[in-house]
Amino acid sequence: MIWFDTTKSGRAEHRSGLMRVSSRLRAELSARAESVAGGSWVDQAQPGDWFLTAEVFSPAERPGWDDLLAQRPCRLAAIFHDAIPLKFPQITWPQSVARHPAYLKMLARFDRVWAVSEASRHELLGYWRWLGVVAEPPVDVLALGADFDGSARVVDREEPAAKALLGLGILEPRKNQLLLLETCEQLWNEGLEFSLHVVGRTNPHFGGPIVARIKESARRYRGLRYHAAVDDRVLGRLFGEARAVVFPTIAEGCGLPVLEALWRGVPVVCSDLPVLRENTLGGGCLLAPVNERGAWVDALRKILTDDGLQARLQGEARSRALPTWRAAAETIAATLGA
């Protein structure tokens, strides 16, 4: 039996990357095996069972967990996302910064961990070694699925008549929407005609000034559209209308929007980060240096005006190999013996 953790994901109303991982893994695991359950597990779990979590937590948020880790009612497995709160505390929600050290320590007491990228795996192992952890659990890389809503992969579509860019991600400094706005404003001032759709909920601690800046820019540039929240149906439509997805992020654990755009056959312009290269080097992507506005202006100008480049990237996006959530679930189930 696999007991799947739904403590937060079961009541979450937003669609963060972490919630996407939880919901899609649980759905695929449940579809392939009757031995997957959610809900209360402490009193029902047997020693041969597994508890699997893709959530982030701390002892303060889950009282009694230190005792559970000591008593071990069953075996424990986890999906590890990133160490961003420790690397960028100045632009991370304070609660996450306070929670993360204890969370990483607790993961060292699990029986098995999957990291969402090789970069995240390296960060986790490095932190444990810095702590002096003697007995590390096995840490493998789990390729997250590109098929974000379970729809069939797009391998052929007509190029939209109007040129549109799509930016995805929670509105916060890490996602770098301000750089994206400045870049697009320069291109609009040059006379390029295109639209930019910015999609994302607002970080309650850092996002307010970004929302204000987007609204101010939208009053001056008619090509800017802001979507505070959309469901998967609307997101699918926006993918279908996009010439490219733009992702100027500063730091990621995996970078799901890159994979999800490629699944929809849409080229990606994204930051040249090691973690993103794990998914971009297969094709369909144009990389730009992190935070270098001039390079981003050049990259977006190319994707908007160079039809040959755009066609090549689009062809690569539609033909390259991409991971699926079913494959991720099969990896977990096979490893856990479910």
Question: In a structure prediction context, what are the per-residue pLDDT tens digits for the chain, which is 338 residues long?
Answer: 898 988 866 555 556 778 889 889 988 988 865 566 555 677 788 888 999 999 998 888 888 888 888 888 899 999 999 999 999 999 988 889 999 999 999 999 999 999 999 999 999 999 999 999 999 999 999 999 999 888 899 988 777 778 999 999 999 999 999 999 999 999 999 999 999 999 999 999 999 999 999 999 999 999 999 998 788 889 889 999 999 999 999 999 999 999 999 999 999 999 999 999 999 999 999 999 999 999 999 999 999 999 999 999 999 999 999 999 999 999 999 999 86
Distance CA 41, CA 43 (A): 6
Distance CA 142, CA 22 (A): 13
Span 119-174, pLDDT tens digits: 999 999 999 999 999 999 999 999 999 998 888 999 887 777 789 999 999 999 99
Q: What is the pTM of this model?
A: 0.93
Residues 68 and 43 sit within 8 Å (Cβ to Cβ)? no
Of the candidates 265, 271, 299, the residue with the CA atom closest to the CA atom of residue 283: 265
Span 275-311, pLDDT tens digits: 999 999 999 999 999 999 999 999 999 999 999 999 9
Orientation angle between helical segments 325-336 and 17-32, nearest 10 degrees: 60
CA 92 to chain centre: 16
Beta strands in the chain (DSSP E): 2-4, 36-37, 50-53, 75-80, 112-115, 139-141, 164-168, 195-199, 224-227, 244-247, 268-271, 285-288
What is the DSSP secondary-structure string of 287-323? EE-TT-HHHHHHHHHHHHH-HHHHHHHHHHHHHS---
Q: What is the DSSP letter of 20?
A: H
Number of neighbours of residue 102 by Cβ within 10 angstroms:
16
Distance CA 318, CA 322 (A): 9
Residue 195's SS3 state is: strand
Which distant-in-sequence residues (6+ apart) come within 8 Å of 107 by Cβ?
78, 80, 113, 124, 137
Residue 210's SS3 state is: helix
Burial of 331 (0-12, 13-18, 19+ CB in 10 A): middle
Order across the sheet with 164-168: list the strands: 224-227, 195-199, 164-168, 244-247, 268-271, 285-288
**Partners of 167 in the β-ladder:** 198, 246
Domains of the chain (ranges, CATH numbers): 2-145+324-336 (3.40.50.2000), 164-319 (3.40.50.2000)
Q: Tell me the chain's radius of gyration from C-alpha atoms.
A: 21
CA atoms within 13 A on the CB side of 286: 25
Task: Kindly compute the dihedral angle of the four CA atoms of residues 93, 94, 100, 103, in this order, to the nearest 10 degrees.
Answer: -100
